[in-house]
Structure 1
Amino acid sequence: MSDLTSHPVGEGAPDIRDMQVADLNKALRAGAKDFRRKPAFGLFFAAVYVIGGWCIYLLLFRAHLEWLAIPLTFGFPLIGPFLAVGLYDVSRRLEAGDEDWKASDIFAVVWRQRLRQLPTMAWVVIVYFLFWSFFAHMLFALFLGPSALTNVTTSYAYLLEPEGLTMLLVGAAFGAVFAFVLFALTVVSLPLLLDREVDFVTAMITSVAVIRQNPKVMLVWAFMIAALTFLAMLPGLLGLMLVLPVLGHASWHIYRLATVSGTGIAQ
């Protein structure tokens, strides 16, 4: 059996294959199956995400910056794909028929990524998230004025006024564009960087190429991710304990289904 704990299994960007909408159901079923087979890993990585979200919201309320909770609620899921790297590795091992490993093996692989291209991609995602937060702040001030930034901490009535509703609609539209651009850059690039020796620019180009070759399928996949994530965040982020692991595992299978060199369910 090959050693999946040391080096990626291939070099260079893989070729892209045509996908069908039915492939999304395959990926979700495979993701749910991976989660059932190794639930501890999914629950752990999801807990990191959920607890991190609670901490951010707690800090905002303690700093009387409650208004920032709205853009962060829409923007926080942008960093989810990077946190799912450990789930990609679990699915990679299960797909290869390798179940003789420990939790430390997964963390060792994630730790070793610091010497490769994933940290650079992490910075891309983080900077993108910060830019979205700045942009949301600018929209808030543009539509509601500087005084609202102070008064909204004690009253959310501003959001029910025409200016507030317009701001929410415009913000949601821009947020959707921001999210889709990042989705296009990361939907394949993150699992690709884990799986193969490629630079992060090549990985992002490959990811965008997948979108261009399969626009309908990937638009549906983006909508499914957004809808499931939004619904999972409603009960105090607790729904993410289930949704995030399944989507994380499924994202690995989407990568495999999108590439000619993919194995497992892609065959």
Structure 2
Amino acid sequence: MSTELPEPLLVLAVPAFNDNYLWLIHDGRSAAVVDPGDATPILAVLARLRLKLVAILLTHHHGDHVGGVAELLQHFTVPVYGPKSEIIAGISKPLSQGDDVIVPELGLNFSVLEVPGHTLDHIAYVAPRQGWLFCGDTLFAGGCGRLFEGTPAQMRASLAKLAALPDTTQVYCAHEYTLANLRFALEVEPDNADLAARFEREQAKRAQGLATVPSTIGLEKATNPFLRDQIPAVTERLIACGRLQESTPAAAFAALRAWKNIF
């Protein structure tokens, strides 16, 4: 009987395009990639670290998240997990709410959440044991995705699913939008001390060329306006700015998203 302990899993941010993060999960031997919009940097990291790709996980159909799949499949024969969608070519394991993903080579289990709003087919992956959330373009550090296909009500419900995860859950979103998002958040909640402190910390990270993600669900609940539409200070600010007439959380969320679109 082997007494070798499994290698710890690491999550590596692979920068791509102008501000994307492609996420590579590995144990020093095998790797899974989340949202490989570009194959080139993924192949480079796999070669440099001598990793074998064993799975591809997709959150939604936008090109900067799926554009590298075809090329990766030319090099590796692996399952491709993704939303049940006719738009994305190459998915071999279509997923819906409540499905589980098991990556045996990594000893890694995910549960799947449907989180429409940014797109109608968007899903998120939760690794409960590790406390990880890979949420694509639904929840950002300090913000949320634009509503290209879904409604404010859909996005709000999707964010509520993510906000219900444990506060310690690490949020691996797909873009480095944090400082822009937090500038908007400060416009919404100028008296939020936690938010002001976060902005200073994230500015310091970016000044050193460091990523601002992952964040945590607890941090997002304390500082992200799109998880705080029920907070009186938020609705009062929206009313004072003439952006909200009906003082309900749903209306406040829609008003926040409309304001952020032009901020």
Question: Higher RCO, 1 or 2 (CA under 8 Å, sep at least 6)?
Answer: 1
Q: Same fold (TM over 0.5)?
A: no
Q: What is the TM-score when the length of structure 2 is the normalising length?
A: 0.23
Higher strand share: 2
Q: What is the TM-score when the length of structure 1 is the normalising length?
A: 0.22
